[in-house]
Each structure stands twice: as C-alpha cells, then as structure tokens.
Amino acid sequence: MAMIDIGIRVEISKTAIEPTSDTDWDLLDECLSIPQLLQQPNLIDHDVIGNRFITQIAGKRSTSGMTFGFAFNGGLPQANFRKIKTVEDAGETRWMRVVVPYNESDTDVTEFRWNSKFSVSNQPINPSGVVSIDVLSLPQRVVGREVIEVKFPTA
C-alpha cells in the first residue's frame, strides 16, 4: 500500500475553534491520496466586437469538495474513520490543514488551511485488498477570509 510518507501532514483541528498552536491539531495518518488543493479558475470567453478572435479570462476558482484517501485503521477513538465520522454525525465543522515541507527541516513548510464539513465513506472491500476510506472535505466560508488560505514559510 503506497502511503504518502515524504513529510506531508494532513491534520484536522481537535475542536471547531480555529487552532492557535500545533497541539490543537490531530494527525490523520496513513494517507493514500491528496486532491488538488488549489484548483484552476473557470475560464470565461471574452469577445470584442471587431476582433475575429475570442480570448478567455480567468474567472473564480472552484472550492468544490476535495476527496482524501486513507487506509482504514480501525474504529478506535484515535482512528481516522472514527474521528471524521464523529464530526460528520454531529454536523460540526473542523479546521483542516495540509502541511507540505520543502526539505527535511520542519521549518520550511507551506501550509494550506480551511474550515470544513466532512463526509466519510468506505471504498469497496476486495479479498486481499487494501481497506480504505474516502474523506470528502467540503470547505466552508469564513467571513472576511479566503476559503483556502496558503501560509508560506517566513524567511
């Protein structure tokens, strides 16, 4: 089973309140796949009378649901499935972040962060296959903020 193990961390907040320190996050381990976090903007046709060509301009970016894949690691309280399913069943939101390191030091990282609702489902189970779950993250709007924020390392 190919896990994402190059230092990338996928985490959710322990409560609905936005985390202020690294201890406020729970690691979602055994990640199998991460979706495209910043999607391309929609393209809008742009036509000028008198010009025989139509050009395109960038519209807004989509923040449609993003599906993460994880290995099923049981139903205990610390397991991914139970963490997400508990939040989903309560109808709550949590902050989610993906931390991408540039090198082996954990100080040079880029962080993607957003507030999210969740839906969790299992993949079909095959004999001798990997048991996995899909976690659908539905980004929520926070007044006065970008839907998905990108934090770059400080020099």
Beta bridge partners of 54: 47
pLDDT in tens, the chain (155 residues): 455 667 789 999 999 999 999 899 999 988 999 998 877 778 888 888 888 888 888 877 777 789 999 999 888 888 999 999 999 999 999 999 999 887 666 667 889 999 999 999 988 887 877 789 999 999 999 999 988 888 888 76
The correct CATH number of 9-34+63-151 out of 1.20.1740, 2.30.110, 2.60.40, 1.10.357 is 2.30.110
pTM score of the predicted model: 0.82
Give all strands (DSSP E) within 5-127, no chain letters. 9-13, 25-27, 31-33, 41-47, 54-61, 66-71, 94-101, 109-122
